[in-house]
Amino acid sequence: MESEADHTHCEIDQIEEHCARQLLCLTEQRTGEEPRYTHIEQNEFLHRRPKTLAEEDIAICECKYDENDPESACGERCLNVITNTECTPGHCPCGVYCKNQRFQKCEYAKTKLFKTEGCGWGLLANENIKAGQFIIEYCGEVITWKEAKQRSHTYEIQGLRDAFIISLNASESIDATEKGSVARFINHSCQPNCETRKWNVLGEIRVGIFAKQDILAGTELAYDYNFEWYGGAKVRCLCGASSCSGFLGAKSRGFQEDTYLWEDDDDRYSVEKIPLYDSAEDEPLSRLFKAVNSSEFDVAEMMVNVNVDSEPQSTALVVQSLDSVPMEGVVMEVKTEVSEERKLYSENNQLAISKKNAMISRIRSNTAGRNYHIGSGSMSNKRSKQYNGKLKHGAQKQVDAKCVAALLASKEAQEEILNYERMKNNAATHLESLYNEIRPAIEEHERDSQDSVATSVAEKWIEACCLKLKAEFDLYSSIVKSIACTPRRPFGQAEPSDGNTENEIKYLQN
C-alpha cells in the first residue's frame, strides 16, 4: 500500500532527477558540447495562456480506492484512463491514491541520454520498462502552426540538422528545439519500442511517450516519427530495422516533393560507420544497443563504451539509393524499346507524376499517427544542387508519344497515337485542376492529427486518377500495338504525308 511517505520519496526522486537534468544542460552548455537546450517539464505557451478547466468540465471518475486491489485507484478500468483524460487533483474519489495523474506528477521512467553512432544523441531506458508504461512527456514551446512553419524554415537556414517540432493538434505544434524535456532526444525507428499518445490533462492536450512493449534497461528508446516532412532535408533513416522505410518521414508529401539529403556533407551520417546486419534475425532491437541483461547492466560503463570505445565493427552499410525507395501511389511503367538513336522519354513529366503520387499517398494514409511536421521552407541553393537530376523511383519515365509517332510509317497509326495522347493530356489537366481544388481540404486534414481525408474528397481524386490511368493505358497500348504491327519509317526519311507511303503496311484496326 502506498503511503504519504512513499509519495514524498517519489517527489524527492523527481526533484533530484530534475536537478540532475538541469545540471547536465548547464554543463553541456558551459563546455560548449551539444546538446544545447533549456530543460523544461511543462509546456510553455507562447501565443496564448494555458487553459483552465471550468468546474463543470472536470471529468470525475467512479473509482473507489480498495487497499486490496491496486487497480481500483484509477487503473485500467478508470473511466478517465479509458478516455485518455487525467484525473483532476481534489476531484478524484481516490484522493492521494489516484494513479491517473502521471503527466501532472511527472511520473517518468528512468532514462539516460547517450551519444549514438550516426543519429546524434539518443535516449535509453535506465530501468526495465513495462509495455504501456508512460515514459516521458514531450514538452516544449506550444506555438501556432504558422509559427512552426516559420521556425522550421529559420532552423533550416541556420543549418540545424535535427528536427524537434511535433504536431499537437490541428492548429498548434510543440517545438522542443530551444526548450524541451529529454523526450526531444528520442530517435526514430521504423520498428519502434515506443509510441506517442495524446492525453487530456486539466483541459490541455499533452503528448506522452509510452512503451509499446516491455523494454529492458539499456535499450534505446525509439518511436515512429511518421511525421510530415513538408520541406527541408530528407534524413536517411539509420534505424536498421528490416522494415525500414529508408528515410525519416518517407510517407510524407515533403519526402516525395523535395530532393536533397542532409547526409551529403554531414559527417554524422557517414555511412561507413554503421554496422551491417545481414538478416532480420541478426538485427538487434535497437541498432545501437542489444537488449542488455538488466542485472549486469551498468549505465556508467556503457556510457564510457559508447563515447570512447565505439569503433565500428563493420565498415559497410547497404544504403538504399533514393531511386529505389518505394513510393506509395499508382504508377505505371511502360517499357518500350523503340529507338536507340532517339530520346523517347520526356523528363518534363517527372514533377507532375511525383506530385500526383504524393497526393495519392496522402489520401491513403491516415494522419492519426503523424507527429512531426516541418514547415515548407524553401530549399537552399547549396542543397538543391547536391541532388539535382536524380530521379525518384516513383517518378516513372513517360513515353514521348510524338517521338514514337514520328518513327512510324503509317499516318493512321500516328494519328491514333496522337489522339490518345491528347486524351491523356486532358485527363492530366483535369487531375491537375482537381488537385488545386481539393488541396485546401487535404492540407486542412493533414494538420489535424486525429483525422483522415474525407471520403468524398478521396473518391473525387480516385475517380480522376482512374480516368487518367485509363487514358495512359490506352495510349501505351496503342503505342505497343503500333510498334508491333506497323513498320518503322527508315531513318532519315521524311514523315509520311498521307496514309499511302511506300513502306506502309495496312494499319491493324481494332
Ligand X SMILES: C[S@@+](CC[C@H](N)C(=O)[O-])C[C@H]1O[C@@H](n2cnc3c(N)ncnc32)[C@H](O)[C@@H]1O
Where does this chain bind ligand X (CB under 6 A)? 35, 119-122, 161-164, 184-185, 187-189, 235, 237-239, 248
Tell me how far, at minimum, the Cβ of 161 lies from ligand X, in Å.
5
3-state secondary structure 479-500: HHHHHHHCCECCCCCCCCCCCC
Do residues 73 and 49 lie in contact, with contact meaning Cβ atoms separated by under 8 Å?
Answer: no
Question: Any idea what DSSP says for residue 71?
Answer: G
Q: What is the radius of gyration, based on Cα positions, of the chain? A: 29
Tell me how far, at minimum, the Cβ of 103 lies from ligand X, in Å.
19
Tell me how far, at minimum, the Cβ of 116 lies from ligand X, in Å.
7
Do residues 103 and 201 lie in contact, with contact meaning Cβ atoms separated by under 8 Å?
Answer: yes
Cis peptide before 35 (omega within 30 of 0): yes
Q: Which helix (H) or strand (E) holds 23?
A: helix 4-31
Tell me how far, at minimum, the Cβ of 48 lies from ligand X, in Å.
24
Nine-digit cell string for 192: 519502434
Do residues 405 and 418 lie in contact, with contact meaning Cβ atoms separated by under 8 Å?
Answer: yes
Tell me how far, at minimum, the Cβ of 233 lies from ligand X, in Å.
8
173: which strand partners? 143, 167
In terms of CB distance, is 244 or 302 closer to ligand X?
A: 244
Q: For residues 274 and 420, what is the distance between their CA atoms, to the nearest angstrom? A: 50
List the one residue out of 209, 196, 215, 223 whose CA is nearest residue 127: 215
Tell me how far, at minimum, the Cβ of 7 lies from ligand X, in Å.
32
In terms of CB distance, is 86 or 156 closer to ligand X?
A: 156
Q: Which helix (H) or strand (E) holds 477?
A: helix 455-485
Burial, 492: exposed, middle or buried (Cβ in 10 Å; 0-12, 13-18, 19+)? exposed
In terms of CB distance, is 210 or 420 closer to ligand X?
A: 210
Task: Find the farthest-apart pair of alpha carbons in the chain and give their distance in angstroms, rounded.
Answer: 103
Q: Which residues, other chains included, contact 382 with Cβ-Cβ below 8 Å and sequence gap of 6+?
A: none
Tell me how far, at minimum, the Cβ of 65 lies from ligand X, in Å.
39
Do residues 427 and 332 lie in contact, with contact meaning Cβ atoms separated by under 8 Å?
Answer: no
183: which strand partners? none
Residue showing cell 481539393: 438
Where does residue 118 fall: left (phi above 0), alpha (psi -120 to 50 degrees), or beta otherwise? Answer: left
Nine-digit cell string for 470: 485509363
Position 172, amino acid: E
Tell me how far, at minimum, the Cβ of 327 lies from ligand X, in Å.
20
Tell me how far, at minimum, the Cβ of 367 lies from ligand X, in Å.
19
Tell me how far, at minimum, the Cβ of 187 lies from ligand X, in Å.
3
In terms of CB distance, is 148 or 431 closer to ligand X?
A: 148
